Amino acid sequence: MPKIGVLALQGAFREHAEAFDALGADVVLIKHAEQFASIDAIVLPGGESTTQAKLLDTFAMRAPLADALAAGLGCFATCAGLILLATEVLDGRADQVPLGLLDVAVRRNGYGRQVMSFESALEIEGLHAPFTGVFIRAPRLVRVGDSVEVLARHDTHPVLVRRGRIWAAGFHPELADDLRLHQLFLHALTREDANP
Ligand code: GLN
């Protein structure tokens, strides 16, 4: 079973840790850059992307995280985590610099104030039955680069994307009471490790 680190600076990290733990993964909460070397994948949880970006800088974790991801560390990012990974953030704070590791443009709170939070049944590639997408002040993917595969859409907009070992969702699978997406990610990780 892979070792999954969950970035535990801010946001919904406990729910992700519980989900991967329930699936039998070896889970560790990540608070220092030194820990990146000992994990197979990192979870970037939902929360507040501006605060998370600041904390990464405060704890000198930004460059080590970007380097580890560029070198092949797996990643399961949700919501604010997706914003952190993007190459372009629209409606972000002026000083909000994303990691730029996933070639997508995201609009923060892109589903508008009137529907700040909603649920929707999503068809996800690799899952046989619909998955409940929980959207909470979700970012909207407004552009997806050629290197990025779309695994699910809501209406016409991508809401789950993947580039190799890096997965990112605009919604919160850790709040759906359904472990299938975490499990799909784990399976993909272990398959790739077996056939690099
Ligand atoms: N709107 C939040 C942000 O910009 C993301 C919301 C979430 O992670 N649930 O960081």
pLDDT in tens, 20-39: 999 999 999 999 999 999 99
Residue 43 is part of a domain; what is its CATH number? 3.40.50.880
Per-residue confidence at 113, pLDDT binned at 50, 70, 90?
confident
pLDDT score of 114 more than 80: no
Atom of ligand 1 lying closest to residue 45 CA: 8
pLDDT, tens digit, 9 for 90 and up, residues 60-96? 999 999 999 999 999 999 999 999 999 999 998 888 8
Residue 79 known to be catalytic: yes
> Whole domain around residue 148: which residue ranges?
3-194
Position 92 scores a pLDDT of 87
The neighbour count for residue 6, using CB atoms within 10 Å, is: 26
Q: What confidence tier does 191 reach under pLDDT thresholds 50, 70, 90?
A: confident
Tell me, using a 6 A CB cutoff, whether residue 108 lines ligand 1: yes
Model confidence at 45: pLDDT above 60: yes
Closest atom, ligand 1, to C-alpha of 47:
8
With a 6 Å cutoff on the Cβ, whether 137 touches ligand 1 is yes
Q: Is 109 in the pocket of ligand 1 (CB under 6 A)?
A: yes
Q: How many CB atoms lie within 10 A of CB 72?
A: 13
Atom of ligand 1 nearest to the CA of 108: 4
Are 39 and 32 in contact, with CB atoms under 8 Å apart?
no
pLDDT at site 193: 65
Q: Is the pLDDT of residue 194 over 90?
A: no
Of 16, 88, 109, the one to substitute when testing ligand 1's pocket (max ligand atoms within 8 A of C-beta) is 109
> Which residue of 15, 16, 49 sits with most ligand 1 atoms within 8 Å of its CB, as the best mutation to test the pocket?
49
For residue 92, which atom of ligand 1 is closest to its CA? Answer: 4
Question: Does residue 89's CB lie within 6 angstroms of at least one atom of ligand 1?
Answer: no
Percent pLDDT > 90 in the chain is 89
pTM: 0.95
pLDDT at 161: 98
DSSP E strand boundaries for 2-130: 3-7, 26-30, 41-44, 74-78, 86-90, 102-107, 117-122
pLDDT tens for 133-172 read: 999 999 999 999 999 999 999 999 999 999 999 999 999 9
Q: How confident is the model at residue 115 (pLDDT cuts 50, 70, 90)?
A: low
Nearest to 83 by CA among 101, 62, 65, 56: 101
Q: Is 79 in the pocket of ligand 1 (CB under 6 A)?
A: yes
**Average pLDDT of the chain, as a whole number:** 95
pLDDT reported for residue 33: 97
Q: Rounded to whole angstroms, what are the CA distances from 93 to 3, 41, 90, 104, 146?
A: 33, 28, 9, 17, 26
